[in-house]
Amino acid sequence: MPESIDRGRRRLLTFGAAMTGGLAMEFSQALTARSRGLEPLHSVDAGVLNIACYEAGPADGPAVVLLHGFPYDIHSYVDVAPQLAAKGCRVVVPYLRGYGPTHFLDSKTPRSGEQAAVGADLLALIDALNIERAVFAGYDWGGRAACVAAALWPERCTGLVTVNGYLIQDIAHAMAPAKPPREVAYWYQYYFQIERGRAGLAANRREIANILWQQWSPNWHFDEATFERTASAFDNPDFVDVVIHSYRHRYGLAEGDPRYAELERRLAEQPVIAAPTITLDGNADGVNPATDGTGYAAKFSRRLAHRVVPRAGHNLPQEAPEAFVNAVIDVLKA
């Protein structure tokens, strides 16, 4: 283990004794900063993107990359990031492709939203930031990126936290129908398969996102300011193209970017993930109902635990930040 990572690990494991004085003040300041949002941002050229991200915590701490989903943004981690930073972690929270200030470096690059692309973006980001290994943690698209990167580049993954379990898509079997209640919850995915849906997303991205937030998180009573802080990320000029491609590709109804063809071939084998892993479900998730985790347990050779979080919906890190923080800390200690 590199010396910098080892120092960070020692810092983490002695946190309980150190959470006094200056560190407690740092934590208080972080909580104040979160009310203004995650800022300032910085950007880095990484692969095909210029990625905008928020960073916090000591540079020599154990690295944790926090990855948001659709239709959300980095503020899903507005409570998680400062807590992890105060515990000694180097926290990186990037805007995914198609969101916020993140943008493509070349106008000719396909605006792909496929799973291999978001996984490759994560690898490119940690390369650009000179991070040798990190915990990958996320939900929805971000959880998928974390699972993909953990499966394809296990040597770069210290541990994994993923909401809704094993999120690598089995595209070959994507046309097998789910039970009707699940199909109803996927209405937006079917809407996006047709050009009417593309036009609807382009014209009504905020309204669609607001409906999904309410359906997916019935116990989360977010206010207008919280929603608008995130909704501005959907104004990215690539948002619609990336989202539409993501939901068409996962059903085998859109071709992928050729640069990711070999990665997609490997993902089609549904690889087992070897990193220490904690899987989470919210028991009020309105799109992916909570399970006991046994259905995909074999996909994790080192799963530490599966936890169901009471009252939490789909945006679990923002609705139940302490549960998410605890999962990250537990995989770091493994």
Measured in degrees and rounded to the nearest 5, phi and psi for residue 212 equal -65, -40
The residue to which tokens 């470096």 are assigned: 105
DSSP category for residue 255: P
Angle at CA of residue 233, ends 88 and 111, nearest 5°: 105
| pLDDT, position 17 | 38
DSSP codes of every residue in 2-47: -HHHHHHHHHHHTHHHH-SHHHHHHHHHHHHHHTT-S---EEEEET
pLDDT tens by residue, 67-111: 999 999 999 999 999 999 999 999 999 999 999 999 999 999 999
Q: Beta strand pairing status for 277-282 and 49-56? A: unpaired
List, in sequence order, the alpha helices (H) in the chain: 3-13, 15-18, 21-34, 80-86, 115-128, 140-152, 180-185, 187-191, 195-216, 224-231, 239-249, 261-267, 316-319, 321-333
Q: What structural domains does the chain harbor?
A: 3-333 (3.40.50.1820)
- What are 280's two structure tokens? 């989470």
Q: What is the pLDDT of residue 21?
A: 39
Question: Which residues make Cβ contacts (< 8 Å) with residue 103, sequence separation at least 6?
Answer: 49, 50, 236, 237, 238
Angle, CA 256 vertex, CA 279 and CA 158 arms, to 5°: 30
pLDDT at 180: 95
Name the DSSP class of 155.
G
pLDDT at site 19:
36
Query: What was the pLDDT predicted at 24?
Result: 39
Please say whether the beta carbons of 159 and 331 come within 8 A: yes
Rounded Cα distance between 281 and 302, Å, is 18
Q: Quick one: pLDDT at residue 25?
A: 37
Q: What is the pLDDT of residues 108-141, one digit of tens each?
A: 999 999 999 999 999 999 999 999 999 999 999 9
- pLDDT of the residue at 185: 97
Tell me, rounded to whole angstroms, the distance of Cα 188 from its chain centroid: 20
Round to whole Å and give the CA distance between 334 and 332.
6
Pull the structure tokens for residue 122. Answer: 């994560």
Angle, helices 195-216 vs 239-249, to 10°: value is 90
For residue 44, the cross-strand partners are 51
With a cut of 70, which residues of the chain have pLDDT below it? 1-35
| Sign of torsion over alpha carbons 49, 318, 37, 223 | positive
Sign of CA dihedral 1, 43, 55, 311: negative
Q: What is the pLDDT of residue 26?
A: 41
pTM of the full structure: 0.90
Name the β-bridge partners of 53. Answer: 42, 94
Which residues in 3-17 are b (16+ Cβ under 10 Å) and which e? ebbebbbebbeeeee
Instruction: Give the C-alpha separation, 277 to 208, whole Å.
Output: 32
